[in-house]
Amino acid sequence: MMKLNWSDVTPHKIFLDRRKFMAAGAAAVALPALAGRVQAQGMTGRPSPLSTDQTPNTFEEITNYNNFYEFGTGKEDPARNAAALTTDPWSVEITGLVDRPGSYGVEDLAPDNALEERIYRLRCVEAWSMVVPWIGVPLASVLAKVGVQPSAKFVEFETLVRPEEMVGQQRAILDWPYREGLRLDEAMNPLTILATGLYDQPMPNQNGAPIRLVVPWKYGFKSIKSIVRINLLEQEPVNTWKQLQASEYGFYANVNPQVDHPRWSQATHRVIGSGLFGGREETQMFNGYGDQVASLYAGMDLSVNY
């Protein structure tokens, strides 16, 4: 059993410990820290009217308080361990109900001249939040490139499996690969992006290099990192957290202050970077993006489809 300190005791983690998922895991082997981090090159993205005018969190905060279980379950584990991941070369397999399936490079999907800046609120299901200045492209532009067939209704995403570089994958903490999914109309919404950078820099490894999803009106776990596969399909795919505990984590995972998590309230959240004791604020429906997305859920019971 690993030794825990208070900062390790996140809500997801408490669930995992309770289920004793780690009991049968192989002993964690410490990877030698890799030197030779690629020198960050500047990136720029056109400003977007979809950005919030709120002040972003600092680069320090955004890159040192992360959830990325492939690198460990502690908030500081990704910053400590993610430098080991090789992100170049990288390719994304696009499969299923598309006209042009195949293996695409990051540069094919998110060319420099198409990059936009999107400053978005991020609301984790664990009831904390940040504001992040992402750089990326609309997922809709990628889907247009590959040609979505009329029978496609959902998009499925998968993260890389590479336990020799992703130290958290040396144990069955989750059922790897990490998987997520969106309904096609959610995927096509202009707010939904594939991000390849933040703060005018290539995506830091701990934030999901080289390419990750960002869906700002949904709980953070939908925004899957380090994507290697995008699959278009007819049936609703099963996402990792729903598969693990469907009574707590759904497919939709829309931010909703009126639908509590079974083990905690979702009415308010802690604002990262605002001090240890202050900085709670009220959670907004759809994380404040209701004007753009509420119509996607017209007529649906959001306490059933959580």
Is 122 an interacting residue with respect to ligand MTE (CB under 6 A)?
yes
Instruction: Copy the structure tokens of residue 232.
Output: 């278009």
From Mo ion, ligand MTE, none, interface partner of 104 (C-beta below 5 to 8 A by class): none
- Do 192 and 215 contact (CB within 8 A), yes or no? yes
Site residues (CB under 6 A) for ligand MTE, limited to 48-107: 66-70
Is 239 an interacting residue with respect to ligand MTE (CB under 6 A)?
no
Is 249 an interacting residue with respect to ligand MTE (CB under 6 A)?
no
For residues 132 and 148, which CB has a smaller minimum distance to ligand MTE in the complex?
A: 132
Stretch that binds Mo ion, among 15-23, 48-56, 116-124, 291-299 (CB under 5 A): 116-124
Is 78 an interacting residue with respect to Mo ion (CB under 5 A)?
no
Stretch that binds ligand MTE, among 22-30, 219-227, 249-257, 297-305 (CB under 6 A): 219-227
Site residues (CB under 5 A) for Mo ion, limited to 211-270: 220-221
Q: How far is the CB of 241 from Mo ion (least distance, A)?
A: 9
Of residues 225, 242, 269, 270, which one binds ligand MTE by CB under 6 A? 225
For residues 131 and 152, which CB has a smaller minimum distance to ligand MTE in the complex?
A: 131
From Mo ion, ligand MTE, none, interface partner of 255 (C-beta below 5 to 8 A by class): none
List interacting residues with ligand MTE (CB under 6 A). Answer: 66-70, 122, 124, 159, 178, 207-208, 220-221, 223-226
List interacting residues with Mo ion (CB under 5 A). Answer: 67, 124, 220-221
